[in-house]
Amino acid sequence: MPSTSPLNDNFIEIAASALRAGNLVAFPTETVYGLGADATNDTAVAKIFEAKGRPKFNPLIVHFPDMDSVEKVAELSPLANKLAALFWPGPISFVLPRKADAGLSLLVSAGLPSIAARIPAHEGARKLLQTAGIPIAAPSANRSGRISPTTAAHVAADFGEEVAYLLDNGPCAVGVESTVIDLTETKPVVLRPGGITAEQIEAAIGHPVDVASVNEENPKSPGMLLSHYAPQLPIRLNASAAKDGEALLGFGPSSAAAMNLSVRGDLVEAAANLFAYLHDLDDPKWSGIAISPIPEQGLGCAINDRLRRAAAPRP
Ligand code: TXA
Ligand code: MG
């Protein structure tokens, strides 16, 4: 298990030094816990792929404390500046043209001429980024293909001493990953639904936004492979009731549910509970996890995206 420490000023200093020295540090954001490394250091970034067991080099989200630090590495169009003013800091990542002299490891872009940038809202994460003084590449802190972590215990269950420090600040408030939006072309495209909803983006830009469909053959974003977020148990979607041996993960009033994402049918509450409840129900005492229908609107789009991947055929 990695060494788990509370997220306070003392451990932020220690973790920031470990990051600058090229080591891995797991830390909370408002979406999920991230597995961080110095984004300017090839060896450090390579350690992320090794620790996660990523089958290939998918590009990583790079985290920054403020706009000045983003502007050093990426081109910001007027639209990018507008969306940044509205949604940063927050649960959204922008795919932007990468500056030639960005100084970031080429591995974070996995060969693409772009980078995915995010300024997280989580206070401790921003303090860590400020203290480290370097951009931090961080995918979700889970082994490749497994359920994303929303608590330090989830992270500790997946990793060992290859992670130098694990900063614990309790459960993540949003609970699903950031929205990934491609801003490299004139038309923005949502590559991954997440913490900022398509409806919020549409209200900001004044017209409907394209959402990339998941295509196993030719994923627009290399990380958009269909099977992902998989628990050990089989997943059955849009279930009205559990079959023999199955655990029902409910949404809305249901007396038969083993666990309920939100009894009052609240999508924000359901997103925050999603990964933790999947972790909890992924127990061999059940034969599978049946999941109640979730409305395809607002944060429900991000929840259903993760659930469809969890239910997809495994490689
Ligand atoms: O909430 C989150 O986004 C978390 C926290 C830690 O920030 N991070 C996260 O990272 O979920 P990861 O690596 O699990 O997912 C990154 C997603 C992948 O789908 C990847 O393909 C896409 O972003 N991505 C990264 N860079 C990209 C790029 N240059 N172009 C297109 N897609 C990119
Ligand atoms: Mg992930």
DSSP 214-273: P-SSS-SSTT--SS-S--SS-EE-S-SS--TTEEEEE-SS-SS-SEES-TT--HHHHHHH
| Pairwise CA distance, residues 268 & 287, whole Å | 28
Give distance in angstroms: CA of 29 to centre of ligand 2. Answer: 13
Q: Would you place residue 55 in the very low, low, confident or very high pLDDT band (cuts 50, 70, 90)?
A: low
Residues 108 and 59 sit within 8 Å (Cβ to Cβ): yes
- pLDDT tens, residue by residue, 5-28: 999 999 999 999 999 999 999 999
CA dihedral 97, 98, 101, 103 (to 10 degrees): 160
- Ligand 1 lined by 95 (C-beta under 6 Å): yes
Domain with CATH 3.90.870.10 in the chain: 4-211
Residues ≥6 apart with Cβ < 8 Å to 306:
148, 176, 228, 229, 274, 275
- Among the residue ranges 33-42, 152-161, 204-213, the one predicted with the least confidence is 204-213
Mean of pLDDT over the chain: 93
Give distance in angstroms: CA of 248 to centre of ligand 2. Answer: 25
Give distance in angstroms: CA of 61 to centre of ligand 1. Answer: 5
Question: Residue 181 belongs to what H/E stretch?
Answer: strand 179-182
Whether the pLDDT of residue 153 is over 60: the answer is: yes
Strand bridging mode 179-182 / 92-97: parallel
Give distance in angstroms: CA of 132 to centre of ligand 2. Answer: 23
Look at residue 223 in the predicted model and tell me its pLDDT.
Answer: 53
Look at residue 58 in the predicted model and tell me its pLDDT.
Answer: 84
To test the pocket of ligand 1, the residue of 54, 75, 180 to mutate (highest count of ligand atoms within 8 Å of its CB) is 180
Atom of ligand 1 nearest to the CA of 36: 6
pTM, entire model? 0.92
Q: Would you place residue 214 in the very low, low, confident or very high pLDDT band (cuts 50, 70, 90)?
A: low
Q: Whose CA is nearest to atom 12 of ligand 1?
A: 139
Residues 299 and 197 sit within 8 Å (Cβ to Cβ): yes
- ∠ CA(25), CA(63), CA(272), 5° rounding? 80
Look at residue 254 in the predicted model and tell me its pLDDT.
Answer: 83
Mean pLDDT of 106-114: 90
Look at residue 313 in the predicted model and tell me its pLDDT.
Answer: 80
Whether the pLDDT of residue 213 is over 80: the answer is: no
Mean pLDDT of 258-264: 97
Ligand (nearest to CA of 30): 1
Residues ≥6 apart with Cβ < 8 Å to 51:
24, 35, 159, 162, 163
Look at residue 179 in the predicted model and tell me its pLDDT.
Answer: 97
Look at residue 219 in the predicted model and tell me its pLDDT.
Answer: 52
Look at residue 185 in the predicted model and tell me its pLDDT.
Answer: 94
Look at residue 222 in the predicted model and tell me its pLDDT.
Answer: 54
Q: Which CATH class is domain 4-211?
A: alpha beta
Residues 299 and 267 sit within 8 Å (Cβ to Cβ): yes
Look at residue 226 in the predicted model and tell me its pLDDT.
Answer: 65
In the chain, what percentage of residues exceed pLDDT 70?
94
Q: Would you place residue 111 in the very low, low, confident or very high pLDDT band (cuts 50, 70, 90)?
A: confident
| Pairwise CA distance, residues 168 & 288, whole Å | 30
Ligand (nearest to CA of 122): 1
Atom of ligand 1 nearest to the CA of 35: 6
Residues 150 and 127 sit within 8 Å (Cβ to Cβ): no
Give distance in angstroms: CA of 93 to centre of ligand 1. Answer: 8
Atom of ligand 1 nearest to the CA of 114: 29
- Ligand 1 lined by 30 (C-beta under 6 Å): no
Mean pLDDT of 261-269: 96
